[in-house]
Amino acid sequence: MAATLFIVVISQIEKLPVFLDQVIKVIPIYIAFMVIMPLIAKLFTLDVGSGRALIFSSATRNSLVVLPLGLALPEISTLVAAIIVTQTIVELISELIYIRIVPNVLLRDKAINHDKPSV
């Protein structure tokens, strides 16, 4: 999976500078989505498991699954591919942040004390 992701991103990343003006416009939307999901989990007072499921499943919307569809579009396929790869990069960075913040800060498991190392 990691190798596939690496190959797809490498094959499309050269298009990012060409469409930088358009790509920069969508990045705040992706970041806002990543910030809103934990807030929704808190707003609806979801239990730990449901909240974590909401946050993590919404963060990885499988943008690479739609990449072949984007590449099949006439004329704008390179722009769409650049935007999809950008979304993938934002999702990966967000997942890395979520892995640390969600279980340790946002939705702590009450049965586990995260402050003390386990023996």
Q: Are 60 and 91 in contact (CB under 8 A)?
A: yes
Q: Alpha carbon of 34 to those of 3, 37, 95, 109: distances in Å?
A: 25, 6, 9, 21
Q: How confident is the model at residue 111 (pLDDT cuts 50, 70, 90)?
A: low
Distance CA 31, CA 42 (A): 18
Q: Is the pLDDT of residue 27 over 90?
A: yes
- pLDDT at position 116, please? 57
| Domain boundaries of the chain, sorted by first residue | 26-105
Nearest CA to 8 out of 96, 89, 73, 76 is that of: 89
80-102 pLDDT, tens per residue?
888 888 888 888 888 899 899 88
Distance CA 90, CA 26 (A): 11
41-76 pLDDT, tens per residue?
889 988 988 988 888 888 777 777 787 888 788 877
Q: Are 22 and 79 in contact (CB under 8 A)?
A: yes
Q: Which amino acid is at 42?
A: K
